[in-house]
A and B are shown apart, each in its own frame.
Chain A
Amino acid sequence: MRHLPFIAGFCLLAAAMPAWADRIGDISETSVIEQAKRFFSFRDPSVRYALIGSILLGISCGLMGGFIVVRKMALFGDTLSHAVLPGVALGFLWNMEKDPVAIFIGATLAGLLGGAMVALIRQTTRLKEDTALGIVLASFFAVGICLLTRIQKMPGNKGGLDEFLFGSAASIGRSDIILMAVVTGLAVLLVGLFYKELLVTSFDAAFARAAGFPVNIINYALTLLLAFSVVVALRAVGVVLVSAMLITPAAAAYLLTDRMHRLLGLAALFGLISGVMGAFISFLTTNIPTGPLMVMAATMVFALAFFFGPRHGVLMRWWRQKSRSARVQRENTLKAVYHVLEAREFDGEGVSLRELAERRRETLDEARAQSDALCKHHMATLHDDGDAIHLTPEGWQRACEIVRNHRLWELYLTNEAHIAPDHVHEDAEIIEHVLGEETVRELERALNHATRDPHGRAIPGLADLTSGSTPFGPPETVTGYASR
């Protein structure tokens, strides 16, 4: 139920995407529905490959991204994705054509070399992690750019630089797909087989080492798998934005769940969705490269999770905050009603709105609004043409609880924590709303079931709270444990 806002937002987004695509790109005359059918029907081979490729890259990036995000390796992922560029260039040079296997091998080797260099710099110099990452990122990338621009000038060159930098899903061919499928399958398999090893080393490496896990090997393996994902995504997303596909879907998943296996699943799902959406829009428009579109799709998903995530989403938290404040308001009103009644020694049931307003130092209208809220929550009923308020049994119970909490806490702070009596009121104003029943029992015990607060007022006891049906009996039953 609480996932509803997120899912609703998501469906809206998905429906809106083609409309935006329409406004930003040059779309051919056939309608969007036609295009969608063509895209998803797998008839067109290059389109088919683009679609399958996006799905594969989404899954593998999402999966690896999950580990990166929890290990705080996001910037390492970024470095790795830039460091593969010279490998791509060299792989290209191997055969002077875009042989996916050669490029794959070259890219992986370059990635591993980059990772090793980062570790080496960290171990042998005073430079910190972020500096080491930056050095490798920038240098390797520059070497790659140098090589690629050199290649562009060579005779017989077939490369397009933009493709490598920003991706082009349309250029994915059959052999690319096979490679991507193999690599993704391998990644999924390894993560599945070695899930617990990966989990324990991600969470607490020191503990894992002490428990005998080969932490270093596992880390190298993870780096390798990461390099694989980078290479898989390279064609479609481009070198610069691969790290986004690693981080963003996983971060969105991170906001939505507290369990690792669900995180990985969600990350893969979001990766897949972003990939497909990006490819689809790239298909609809003619002049926008695929990579940025996929990344924007992933960012939108993240934004949805950021605002509407059921537990951690910003809007949801704000809404929860508001309902909490409303509850606190209601409880304060109940407390005020109790105080008014107490002031006249519980003579009579009703409290006029005017008395309530005076007590709480607010206007009559505000008091009316408060009592309406109480009525809505079945804590009170209105009498005398809406001018007086009577508490229901539930309302009475809650009122007693609040007053009891407040006074117990004041007593505790004064007696046990030795805080000056005139300082304890403000604290108690806050604490009274959050004390749980367990804690209240403990407090009562610690204070030897005292019956008076630091200001000499009675603390409503158990008898009053469980008396329920007729709150207003003879005065004695309402003054704590006096009857015991």
Chain B
Amino acid sequence: MNELLPVFEWQQHVIAPWTTGLKSTLWIVLMGFFVATACGLLGNYLILRRMALVGDAISHSVLAGIGVAVVLALQLDTVTLFIAALAAGMVTTLIIEIIHRYTRVKQDAAIGIAFTSLFALGVILVSIKSGKVHIDTECVLYGEVALVPLENFKLSLTPALAGVIDKLPMSEVYLRGNELVMAPDVVRMGFVALAVALLIWVFYKELLVSSFDPALAFSLGINATFVHYALMALLSVVVVSAFESVGAILVVAMLILPGATAHLLSVRLPVILALTVLHAALGTLLGFHLATWLNCSIAGAFVVAGMALFLLAWLLSPHDGLLAQWHRRRNLKLEPPEEISRTPRARN
């Protein structure tokens, strides 16, 4: 097991990245934070609308969009990727609706069929062309935040090599294949996160009403269908932006974990949104250090850290946590029952 778990050294794994490796550390952590924030905030609305796995579906089928772009030998710049992702997201939503509306196949199976087919298509398209274009299936799928391609040489950010990276000016640090510069990537992601936060703030009540009570939304003149498609479109854009750092597959975790954790800690939506951002920050930080210690996939480490936070919240949440419930059950036997009548929770 020695090989599996390297020794944890405080100096090397916690302090050094923030001193000697500061520049690259900062970029990586910021990127992770922005991705988690954008996904987490948006993901809250997926959770509220009971569409958590639609996020999973869209993030897989975005690959098909990219595959088409690759096959058409398009330049893989930001705009093309956004458009490809948007198109893929809309196509997925459409296919799900068509299958589920015109046949007796239910929505869950329709989602499964739609995204797996598109995903398979994407992988096939990318594989066909992968000899000819520098898109690495692995990279696109589960990302590698700190890939530094010097020719085809893949490094990961072990402490020993951090020094090497640091000596290169950030502008010359390239991600493999796409020829996209890392610093602008982070900045772009930052803009996306900001845009998501802004949109949520501006359209707060429209999102709230259409998620809570579509009939009321209609009677207030809010078009719930439009909100749905707009959310899907935003989701596609966020997903494709997050691709390069955490990859398609792990975006799902970023969509759900922060929001779910926040839901365990509060019953007020504004607080939940704030806690989501907090989770994004903490998870990214802890995850980064986990990755430097274990020398494994950084994106995966982000998620593992996020999951650890979720488990903590599940256990320790003051009102709803497992410990609190156990404590209440113990006390229930000693005290008379309370007056407040609770409505039985409807199990969907």
Contacts and interface: CB of A to CB of B under 8 A. Distances in A.
Do A and B share a direct contact in the complex (Cβ within 8 angstroms)? yes
Interface of A: 24-25, 69, 72-75, 77-78, 93, 121-122, 124-131, 133-135, 137-139, 141-143, 145-147, 149-150, 153-155, 161-162, 165-166, 240-241, 243-244, 247-248, 250-251, 254-255, 287-289, 291-293, 295-296, 299, 302, 306, 312, 314
Given A149-B300, A251-B109, A289-B127, A126 B104 contact: no
B108 A128 contact: no
Given A124-B322, A255-B103, A142 B117 contact: no
Contacts of A77: 112
Interface in B262-283: 263-264
A68 to B, nearest CB: 8
A145 B51 contact: no
Contacts of B141: 165
Interface string B128-150: 10110000011001100000000
B10 to A, nearest CB: 21
Interface of B: 3-4, 47, 50-53, 55-56, 60, 99, 102-106, 108-109, 111-113, 116-117, 119-121, 123-124, 127-128, 130-131, 137-138, 141-142, 156, 249-250, 252-253, 255-257, 260, 263-264, 294-297, 299-304, 306-307, 310, 314, 320, 322, 325, 345, 347-348
Nearest to B106: A72
B90 to A, nearest CB: 19
Nearest to B144: A149
A146 B308 CA distance: 14
Contact of B256 (A24, A131, A288): A131
Contacts of B130: 287
B306 to A, nearest CB: 8
Q: Would you list the 8 A-B pairs with minimal beta carbon distance, nearest first?
A: A138-B253, A142-B303, A244-B116, A292-B120, A146-B300, A295-B120, A139-B307, A134-B52
A279 to B, nearest CB: 14
A254 B108 CA distance: 14
B297 A139 contact: no
A292 B108 contact: no
Nearest to A302: B113
13 contacts: A122-B347, A129-B348, A131-B47, A139-B257, A143-B300, A166-B123, A244-B117, A248-B113, A292-B124, A292-B127, A299-B116, A299-B117, A306-B99
Contacts of B113: 244, 247-248, 251, 299, 302
Given A78-B53, A125-B264, A254-B105, A155 B256 contact: no
Contacts of B55: 134
Contacts of B296: 146-147, 149-150, 153
A250 B110 CA distance: 12
Central interface residue in A125, A131, A251, by most chain B CB within 10 Å: A131
Mostly helix, strand, loop or mixed at chain A's interface?
Answer: helix
B51 A241 contact: no
A255 B105 CA distance: 7
Contacts of A288: 124, 127-128
A310 B138 CA distance: 42
Nearest to A314: B102
B250 A150 contact: no
Given A240-B249, A295-B119, 4 more contacts: A75-B53, A131-B47, A134-B256, A141-B250
Given A24-B124, A130-B52, A133-B53, A248 B117 contact: yes
Nearest to B43: A134
A72 B105 CA distance: 9
A312 B101 CA distance: 12
Nearest to B296: A150
A248 B112 CA distance: 8
Contacts of B60: 240
B137 to A, nearest CB: 7
A166 B306 CA distance: 26
Contacts of A254: 104-105, 109
Contacts of A153: 156, 295-296
Given A126-B345, A135-B310, A292 B4 contact: no
Given A139-B310, A166-B123, A302-B113, A161 B257 contact: no
A118 B81 CA distance: 34
Nearest to B51: A130
Contacts of A149: 296-297, 300
Nearest to A309: B103
Nearest to B301: A146
Contacts of A292: 119-121, 123-124, 127
Contact of A138 (B112, B256, B294, B320): B256
A254 B252 CA distance: 29
A250 to B, nearest CB: 8
B250 A142 contact: yes
Given A130-B52, A149-B296, A287-B131, A244 B112 contact: yes
A135 B260 contact: yes
Contacts of A125: 263-264, 314, 320
Given A128-B50, A142-B303, A241 B138 contact: no
Contacts of B156: 153
Given A127-B264, A128-B348, A287-B127, A142 B320 contact: no
Contacts of B260: 127, 131, 134-135
Contacts of A255: 103-105
Contacts of B51: 130
B201 to A, nearest CB: 23
A250 B296 CA distance: 38
Nearest to A313: B103
A73 B250 contact: no
A248 B111 contact: no
A248 B120 CA distance: 13
Contacts of B300: 142-143, 145-146, 149
Given A146-B296, A287-B127, A296-B121, A137 B304 contact: no
Contacts of B310: 135, 139
Contact of A244 (B104, B120, B127): B120
Contacts of B314: 121, 124-125
Contacts of B52: 128, 130-131, 133-134
A154 B3 CA distance: 7
Given A299-B120, A314-B103, A75 B303 contact: no
Given A78-B53, A135-B256, A150 B294 contact: yes
Contacts of A296: 117, 120-121, 124
